[in-house]
């Protein structure tokens, strides 16, 4: 696993990464948040927000903290300052700012930088596996009164995101979908059929593992609802849980929260049909549609 | 799908599990608070253990390269897979021989789910995953027969797992029942913790207070005894760092050997 910066990462990931590194360095030196805050003329809670990757970084603050933490290796010094600079450089998807809320831009930052995306969906096909027509049908459900132009732009963005799975070093997408996703004809039977055929194709990609949670499995692990857990190729960076709400997105990266969702996804992947059964299940779903 | 689904084992995050503790020691993220707690206690007692875990994985990779390269083995039966990490058996084997076939066996449901999703084969080779306990070699052999051809040599991997079988006679009986079904020219490769230092003994004592299942250290002589009837490959029973090393490394309290069935 590489510790160096990846070209696909966006500012959110850089902030999380730099924050996590600064926290490790501070703890290793036995410095309190209070003392660290003093060194950069700021409060203890500012240090806390920096370490959680919630705020941007001034190079001067980073330099002062590294001095306090006794980092005198010029290579490490320069690497962390570069992170601070990149934390202020937006990724390509930020050009969709007109149809993207900030919370979703942050999600795209994370998605582009992830090495493993585990996701559970109960209603819809995961965004990264949607066809254009299916994506439009889903977008219409949420933005029914939007102009055609806006819907085009949202659909275009969703299709652009999918290039992630076929780029040179793609992340692994490990998705569990409820059987209901295969039964509910979003956008009508034709759209649904094309979508299931696309899932069948996608399930052959080395970067995609798809498992179906059958109706026959009763009250299973994730009674809650859809969520994703993103993992990054940096040892210091914790997994991030992402839960999308109607008007906002929720990120969880505290250890006990991540543990709870990891346990949920663990139960789901254990209880769902194994990935090698997925083609057979999708073909049956296609036959049912024709039925 | 409605009927005939076998009883599915449950994920238990309230009891520390071997595979997840090792995952924590190796710097992985597929572990829970209970696993990290035990892992950190052991590390406090034996700081060297995390490095030992990495050095043992490095030995596993060298053993796979030796077996696929010099020994020409194309089939592997890897019992006690553990959670995916860097250099998994099939990745190392298929990097040398893309047509290599690997059967992974574990009895931890989380390990199996990860293996099925993440330890996936090259197009030319094959991987399969079996839910079974080391103590049930018949079940393992019957299921492995779907993927492996027992008329051709197979390398049996028992990496860090025989320590869970305390009794030497029982361990030998398990090895014998598997090796007897494998063709001449097959191999056994293993490593385990050794009782070669007081610190290692203490670390295992802490491990056994809460981890499941318990682990027992063997001496180098007892490890050699497990290879009865097999021809030891040079350099014999040695610390993992001394088995055909690619770089100079100190001796550690993890012993290993590779033996060939004549």
Q: Are B38 and B207 in contact (CB under 8 A)?
A: yes
Q: Are A40 and A63 in contact (CB under 8 A)?
A: no
pLDDT of residue A8: 59
Inter-chain residue contact B32 with A217, CB threshold 8 Å: no
Query: A125 touching B, CB under 8 A?
Result: no
Query: A46 touching B, CB under 8 A?
Result: no
Pairwise CA distance, residues A288 & A96, whole Å = 38
Decide which of B156 and A169 is more confident. B156
Q: Residue B157 pLDDT more than 80?
A: yes
Work out the percent of chain B whose per-residue pLDDT is above 70: 97
What 8-state DSSP symbol labels residue A230?
E
Residues 6+ apart with CB under 8 A from B248: none
Closest-CA residue in chain A for B8?
A: A271
Query: A114 touching B, CB under 8 A?
Result: no
Per-residue pLDDT of chain A in tens (291 residues, 90 and over written 9) = 333 445 556 677 778 888 888 888 898 888 999 999 999 998 988 998 888 777 888 889 999 999 999 988 888 888 888 888 887 776 666 666 666 677 777 778 788 889 999 999 999 999 999 999 999 999 888 877 888 888 888 888 888 888 889 888 899 999 999 999 999 999 999 999 999 999 999 999 989 999 999 988 766 655 678 999 999 887 778 898 998 876 777 888 788 999 999 999 999 999 999 999 999 999 999 999 876
Which residues of A are less than 8 Å from B120 in CB distance? 206, 209
Query: A211 touching B, CB under 8 A?
Result: yes
Query: A170 touching B, CB under 8 A?
Result: no
- For the sheet with A249-252, list strands across it: A208-213, A172-178, A116-121, A227-231, A240-244, A249-252
- Region of residue B108 (phi > 0: left; psi between -120 and 50: alpha; otherwise: beta): beta
Helix (H, G, I), strand (E, B) or coil at B240: helix
CA A126 to chain B, closest CA, distance in angstroms equals 17
Pairwise CA distance, residues A109 & A122, whole Å = 24
pLDDT of residue A154: 86
Inter-chain residue contact B118 with A214, CB threshold 8 Å: no
Which residues of B are less than 8 Å from A172 in CB distance? 118
DSSP A250-273: EEE-SHHHHHHHHHHHHHHHHHSP
Inter-chain residue contact B27 with A217, CB threshold 8 Å: no
Which residues of B are less than 8 Å from A235 in CB distance? 27
pLDDT mean over B48-54: 90
pLDDT of residue A53: 79
- Tokens, residue B201: 């003994």
Pairwise CA distance, residues B103 & B105, whole Å = 7
pLDDT of residue A221: 56
Note the ipTM here. 0.87
Which residues of B are less than 8 Å from A3 in CB distance? none
Helix (H, G, I), strand (E, B) or coil at B134: coil
Helix (H, G, I), strand (E, B) or coil at A19: helix
Query: Do you find a cis peptide bond into B168, omega within 30 degrees of 0?
Result: no
Q: Which residues of B touch A (CB under 8 A)?
A: 1-3, 5, 8-11, 13, 27, 29-30, 32-33, 86, 109-110, 112-114, 116-118, 120
Mutate to test the interface with A, among B4, B10, B11 (most CBs of A within 10 A): B11
CA A267 to chain B, closest CA, distance in angstroms equals 6
Inter-chain residue contact A235 with B109, CB threshold 8 Å: no
CA B117 to chain A, closest CA, distance in angstroms equals 6
pLDDT mean over B236-249: 94
- Region of residue A245 (phi > 0: left; psi between -120 and 50: alpha; otherwise: beta): beta
Q: What is the pLDDT of residues B96-152, one digit of tens each?
A: 999 999 999 999 999 999 999 999 888 899 999 999 999 999 999 999 999 999 999
Pairwise CA distance, residues B110 & B231, whole Å = 36
């Amino acid at each position: 696993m590489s510790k160096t910066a990846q070209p696909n990462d966006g500012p959110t990931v850089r902030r999380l990464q730099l924050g996590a590194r600064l926290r490790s360095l501070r703890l290793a030196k036995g410095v309190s948040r209070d003392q660290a805050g003093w060194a950069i003329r700021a409060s203890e809670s500012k240090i806390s927000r920096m370490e959680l990757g919630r705020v941007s970084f001034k190079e001067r603050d980073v330099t002062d903290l590294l001095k306090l933490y006794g980092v005198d290796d010029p290579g490490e010094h320069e690497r962390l300052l570069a992170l601070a600079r990149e934390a202020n450089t937006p990724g390509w998807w930020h050009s969709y700012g007109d149809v993207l809320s900030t919370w979703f831009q942050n999600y795209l930052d994370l998605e582009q930088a992830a090495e493993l995306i585990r996701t559970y969906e109960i209603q819809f096909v995961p965004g990264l596996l949607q066809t254009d027509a299916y994506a439009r049908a889903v977008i219409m459900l949420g933005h029914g009164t939007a102009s055609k132009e806006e819907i085009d732009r949202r659909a275009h963005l969703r299709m652009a995101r999918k290039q992630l799975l076929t780029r040179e070093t793609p992340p692994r997408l490990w998705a569990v979908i409820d059987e209901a996703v295969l039964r509910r004809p979003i956008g009508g039977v034709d759209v649904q059929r094309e979508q299931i055929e696309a899932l069948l194709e996608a399930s052959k990609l080395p970067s995609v593992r798809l498992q179906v949670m059958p109706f026959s499995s009763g009250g299973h692990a994730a009674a809650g609802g859809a969520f994703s857990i993103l993992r990054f190729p940096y040892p210091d960076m914790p997994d991030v849980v992402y839960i999308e709400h109607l008007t906002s997105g929720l990120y969880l990266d505290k250890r006990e929260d991540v543990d709870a969702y990891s346990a949920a996804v663990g139960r789901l992947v254990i209880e769902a049909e194994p990935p090698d059964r997925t083609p057979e299940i999708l073909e049956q779903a296609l036959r049912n549609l024709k039925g | 799908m409605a009927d005939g689904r076998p009883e599915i084992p449950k994920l238990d995050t309230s009891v520390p599990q071997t595979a997840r503790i090792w995952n924590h020691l190796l710097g992985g993220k597929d572990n829970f608070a209970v696993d990290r707690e035990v892992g950190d206690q052991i590390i406090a007692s034996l700081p060297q253990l995390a490095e030992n875990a990495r050095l043992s994985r490095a030995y596993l990779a060298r053993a796979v390269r030796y077996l696929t390269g010099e020994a020409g083995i194309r089939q592997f039966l890897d019992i006690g897979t553990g959670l995916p990490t860097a250099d998994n058996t099939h990745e190392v084997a298929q990097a040398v021989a893309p047509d290599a076939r690997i059967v992974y066996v574990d009895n931890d449901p989380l390990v199996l789910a990860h293996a099925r999703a993440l330890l996936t084969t090259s197009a030319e080779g094959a991987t399969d995953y079996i839910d079974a306990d080391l103590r049930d070699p018949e079940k393992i052999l019957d299921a492995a027969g779907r993927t492996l051809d027992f008329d051709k040599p197979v390398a049996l991997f028992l990496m860090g797992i025989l320590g869970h079988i305390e009794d030497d006679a029982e361990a030998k009986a398990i090895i014998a029942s598997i090796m007897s079904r494998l063709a001449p020219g097959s191999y056994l490769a293993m490593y385990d913790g050794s009782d070669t230092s007081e610190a290692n003994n203490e670390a295992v004592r802490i491990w056994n207070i809460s981890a499941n299942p318990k682990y027992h250290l063997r001496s180098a002589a007892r490890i050699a005894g497990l290879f009865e009837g097999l021809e030891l490959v040079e350099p014999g029973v040695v610390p993992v760092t001394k088995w055909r090393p690619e770089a100079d490394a100190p001796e550690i309290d993890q012993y290993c050997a590779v033996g060939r069935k004549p």
